[in-house]
Amino acid sequence: MKNPIRLGLIGCGGIVQITHARAYHALTDTVQVTAIADVVPENLKKIGALFNVPTESRYTDYRDMLEHAALDVVTIATPHSLHAEQVIEAANAGVAVISEKPMATTLEEADRILESVRRNGVPYTVVHNYIFTAGMQAALTELDVLGESHFGRSVGMGLKPTDFSADHPTPAFAWRASKAKGGGCIIDTSYHEIYAVCTLMRSPVRYVEARVQTLRLDIDVDDIAMLLCEHENGAVTTVSGAWCVPGTDSGWCEMHAENGSIRVQHRHNMANALRRFTRIDGWKELELAGFDEAEQQDASGHVRYFTETFKAIAADTALPVPAEKAYYNLAIIEAARKATIERRAIEIPVL
C-alpha cells in the first residue's frame, strides 16, 4: 500500500475533531487525510482547515467522495444507524474500512457488513480504543501470571443532559439518545465496558442476563444497563452503565483470578491507571514501564489503536481488532436487550 496511506473521512464531527485528529497528527509519516465528507458544512470547514484538505476534496455526500477521490482507507464516524450502509458502500468501492463502534445496530446489519467486506476482500475493523490505553496494554501482560479468571466487573456511570432535543447545542447528544439513530446507553457508552472487561476475562460470554431500561431521561432508548454474564469457563462478570447516575468511582474494569486481581482505570487520564492485588502485597499501583509519556497521556487509547491499525493495513497483516470481536460485542448487547424483555438468560452461540 502507498505510503503515506491516503485516508478519507466519512463523518467529521466531535469524535474526529477531539480524538481521531490527535491520532492522525501523530501519524503524519504513515497517513495523510486527503478527502473528507460530512453533511454539516461547519464540520467540513474545521477538519478541512485542520488537515489542509483542498476545497474540491471536501464532500457533502460520502458516495461522491468514494467515487471521485483516490483513497486507500476510509474511517467512518457517523451516527450508529448509518454504519452498515456506509461500510458496505466503502467496501464495494474497494477501500479498507475503519469504523467507529458499534459495527452496526443489529446482527442482521452486521451479517451484511461481513458478507460485503469478505466478498470485496477489503480490510475492515471497528474502533475498540480502550484496549489500547497504556493501562490496559500493561494489564494484558499480567494475565498469564494471574491465572484463570473467575469474576469480572466493569462500571461506567455518568449524567447526561436532561435536554436531548434535536436543537441541543451538542447535536451528538440528540442522535445518541434516538432509537431511530441506533442510540442508547448500552450501545453507546457501555459498549466500551463490555469489550474491556471481556478482554481481561479471556473466556467468551455464553449466557447473558440483564436489565436494559429507561428509568430517568425522557428518551426512547435506554439510560441504564445492568448485565450479568456467564463465561465459557464458568466465570461471572457484571457490567454496570448509566446516563442517569453520577459518575463517582466510575470508568474502570477489573478481573479477579486464582493468583490475584487486576484493575484498569479508563475514560480519564488517572495516576492509578493500573492496580494489581495479591495476597502478599494487597492492592498495589503498578508503574507503566515501557510506555513513554505520550503513550501514558493517550487516555482514550486512540493514538495507539490507529497506529497499530494503519501499520497492519500497510503491511497486509492481521488487524488488531478483527471484525469478529465487534460482532461478538454486538451479540452481547442484543442478548442483553432480549434478556430484559424475556426475563431470562439468553445464550450466545459460539461465533
Report d(CA 11, CA 89) in Å as an integer: 14
Pinpoint the residues of the chain covered by CATH 3.40.50.720.
Answer: 5-126
pLDDT higher than 90, residue 1? no
* Count of Cβ atoms closer than 10 Å to residue 36 Cβ: 27
As a CATH number, domain 5-126 is 3.40.50.720
Q: What percent of the chain has pLDDT over 70?
A: 95
pLDDT in tens, 124-137: 999 999 999 999 99
Contact of 351 with 328, CB cutoff 8 Å: yes
In the numeric block, which cell numbers belong to residue 289?
A: 514501564
pLDDT in tens, 7-20: 999 999 999 999 99
pTM for the complete prediction? 0.95
pLDDT number for residue 248 = 78
Contact of 97 with 77, CB cutoff 8 Å: no
In the numeric block, which cell numbers belong to residue 258?
A: 486464582
Pinpoint the residues of the chain covered by CATH 3.30.360.10.
Answer: 130-347
* Residue 61 exposure: Cα atoms within 13 Å on the Cβ side: 5
pLDDT higher than 90, residue 163? no
Question: What element of type H or E holds 257?
Answer: strand 252-257
**φ and ψ of 182, to 5 deg:** 80, 30
Q: Quick one: DSSP state of residue 132?
A: G
Superfamily of domain 130-347: Dihydrodipicolinate Reductase; domain 2 (3.30.360.10)
CA distances from 303 to 43, 133, 298, 309, 343 (A): 21, 9, 7, 10, 41
Cis before 349? omega within 30: no
Q: Quick one: DSSP state of residue 19?
A: I
